[in-house]
Amino acid sequence: MLLLSRPFVPVLTLLLLLVAPVRAFYLPGVAPTDYEENDPVPLLVNSLTPTIDSESPQLQSVLSYDYYHPAFHFCRPHGGPKKQAESLGAILFGDRIFNSPFDLRMLKNDTCKTLCTQNFEPRAAKFVNRRIRQDYQLNWLIDGLPAARVKYDEGTHSKFYSVGFELGTIDDSEDKNPYLSNHYDIFVEYHETRAGKFRVVGVVVQPSSRRTTIDDAGVVQNCNVGDKLMLNRDIDTKVTFTYSVFWTPSATPWATRWDKYLHVYDPRIHWFSLINSSIVVIFLTGMVGMILLRTLHKDIARYNQLDLDEDVQEDSGWKLVHGDVFRTPEYPLALSVLIGSGAQLFVMTGTTIVFALLGFLSPSSRGALATVVIVLYTLFGFFGGYVSSRAYKTFGGEAWKLNVIATPLVVPGIVFTIFIFLNFFLIGVQSSGAVPVGTMIALVVIWFVISVPLSAAGSYFGFKAPALDPPVRTNQIPRQIPDQPVYLRWVPSMLLAGILPFGAIFVELYFIMNSIWFHKVYYMFGFLFVCYVVMILTCSTVTILITYFLLCSENYHWQWRSFFTAGASAIFVLLHAVMYWISKLSLGGVVSNVLYLGYSLLLSFLVFVLMGTIGFVSSYFFVRQIYQSIKID
């Protein structure tokens, strides 16, 4: 087998060993912290993110902003805000965590503490009012737990914690007057583990808008006045930020403190759709497989029979093209590079999902998923190089240097270029989502110092390994290809075949998109795993079927076709993203739209490479298998 040939097995073991410390790397964030009474409990602040509320169920922006963006005028800690250390994945996914001036002490209730008074000039007022209207929310962290709002799910009649709380509220009037929340009631739930040792097990914040004033001595006069505060767009507005802290005992132990946050809105949707799609898919796959096997058996028996009888009867069907079926495809270099990158993506996604399934990527370690994705993709560069060079050698390619260079550069290069392009937009609007230069450089260093050499090493082993010999000889002169039926033309066959694997993933895809764009925690890796397996099965069966029909109609250009047929799922992923754009988002501003479409395009491209590779590899082994089983004189 291509994937499991000998040099690869020890290498895989080695890679897994290398990857193992990734988990250890995360353990510190996962260990509980014990506080004693009056110990300071730091409150950290993350970027402001757009979200939706029940009144306007459409997302209006995809940009996030630094908590200390000057226009927000949030109070700064002494000596200026300090950036907290974060993992690469967390930075890429937009976490920008800073310290804050809030002074929280374990078990010490406080009411109406003043943070600072700020002056909102008209420009800042307009900016903040716009963000309030777009449902921006604040994201705080206390002891690693996100500050949440308590919400009630009508469907399951249960309370749950929804991460983040709103920057402000708008009223029902026609003008949609925005009120900035300048007072925070912070409720911290604690759990006593041993006598005198406490742990934080829940954080709820109720923000409110108050027209607070302070006297000359800086003492808050009327913290609890009910009047709401609106930022004036024409003159400066003075705003005093205040907060109260309430420590409440809780029976929730530390180990299960995340449960309240991981609320499934309607678990039945997942089960229902999963079972639904699985049944359809398994049924289809089984049917296709059975038909194929039976027909093939008959074909093979007939072909071999003809041979024995020395019958003069003409050959028909796929046997006819035996002299062409292993002919080198057009652009073998491009195909092998795509297959190498696809194989790399395939093992990376598979391993990541298994890691997640085993619980290594708990939501409490921020950015763990993205970090693991990057680390695994980098390390599996070896595998990508190996598959690419082996495929290239099998195609009879000769420009091996080009193959070694192109494999680690082309697909990551495309991704990186789109990424940099989108990043310029983020920088342009001063969004905190813009990846800092340092992180960009780190990525490039990881790419060129680790991934490229690993890929080159993989290519070395791939070229050293023998090419996969075709089971039948290729004729000198290519056969004429007869006219093809309509359903086997490029576009119809792609559309027909692409929809099935997409059907397997689209429900999970919807939830993944929700979690990405609405900043929700995604953790349903069990569902994801099943979907992934179902997707692979569907993708390979359908592609094999199309390849079979293609060969039966004497078309031996199956290599690129199988890649594109399977890759066609990406078209549906893109269409799905567009539908989502239309139904769930009403993004204001060019930048949000460009970003959304850009990232969707990026995702579709990766899906294309991944699925295409699955399709090609399964077709390859299928074609090998069937031509191996017939006798050819």
Ligand X SMILES: *[C@@H]1O[C@H](CO)[C@@H](O)[C@H](O)[C@H]1NC(C)=O
> Which residues would be at the binding site for ligand X (CB under 6 A)?
107, 109, 246-248
In the complex with ligand X, which residue's Cβ is closer, 205 or 609? 205
Closer CB to ligand X, residue 119 or residue 248?
248
Burial of residue 113 (CB within 10 Å: 0-12, 13-18, 19+) is middle
Instruction: Give the whole-angstrom CA distance, residue 532 versus residue 535.
Output: 5
Place of tokens 């946050």: 261
Q: In angstroms, give the least distance from the CB of 525 to ligand X.
A: 36
Helix, strand, coil percentages in the chain from 3-state DSSP, rounded to 5:
50, 15, 35
Reference 188, options 255, 259, 140; nearest CA is: 140
- Give the shortest CB-278-to-ligand X separation in angstroms: 48
Q: In 220-322, where do the E strands start and end?
A: 237-249
Helix (H, G, I), strand (E, B) or coil at 23: helix
Closest CA to 211 of 230, 194, 196, 192: 230
Select 192 or 330, whichever has its Cβ closest to ligand X. 192
SS3 107: coil
Quote the CA–CA distance of 472 and 623 in Å, as a whole number.
11
Nearer to ligand X, 246 or 463 (CB): 246
Q: Which is nearer to ligand X, 109 or 221 (CB)?
A: 109
Number of other CB atoms surrounding residue 23 within 10 Å: 17
Q: How far is the CB of 189 from ligand X (least distance, A)?
A: 10
Q: C-beta of 43: minimal distance to ligand X in Å?
A: 17
110 or 121: whose CB is closer to ligand X? 110
Q: Report the DSSP pairing between strands 237-249 and 183-194.
A: parallel
Helix (H) or strand (E) holding 166: strand 165-166
Least distance to ligand X, CB of residue 141, Å: 21
Give the SS3 label for residue 467.
coil
Residues whose CB falls within 8 Å of the CB of residue 79, separated by 6 or more in sequence, listed in order: none
Query: Which C-beta is closer to ligand X: that of 112 or that of 446?
Result: 112
The single-letter code of the amino acid at 221 is: Q
Q: Which lies closer to ligand X via its Cβ, residue 25 or residue 246?
A: 246
CA atoms of 39 and 108, how far apart (whole Å): 9
H/E segment holding residue 308: helix 267-309
In whole angstroms, the minimum distance from the beta carbon of 114 to ligand X comes to: 19
The torsion defined by the Cα of 275, 277, 281 and 284, in degrees rounded to 10, comes to 100
Beta carbon nearer to ligand X, 107 or 320: 107
Shortest distance, CB of residue 184 to ligand X, whole angstroms? Answer: 15
> Residue 83 half-sphere exposure, CB side, CA atoms within 13 Å?
11
Query: Cβ of residue 283: shortest distance to ligand X, in angstroms?
Result: 56
Q: Tell me the closest approach of the beta carbon of residue 109 to ligand X, in angstroms.
A: 4
User: For ligand X, which is the closer residue by CB, 107 or 269?
Assistant: 107
CB atoms within 10 A of CB 445: 10
Rounded Cα distance between 244 and 111, Å, is 4
Q: 347 to each of 344, 394, 463, how far by Cα in Å?
A: 6, 21, 20
Element (H, E) at 160: strand 158-163
Q: CB of residue 107 vs ligand X: minimum separation in angstroms? A: 6
Q: Cβ of residue 223: shortest distance to ligand X, in angstroms?
A: 16
Q: For ligand X, which is the closer residue by CB, 109 or 213?
A: 109
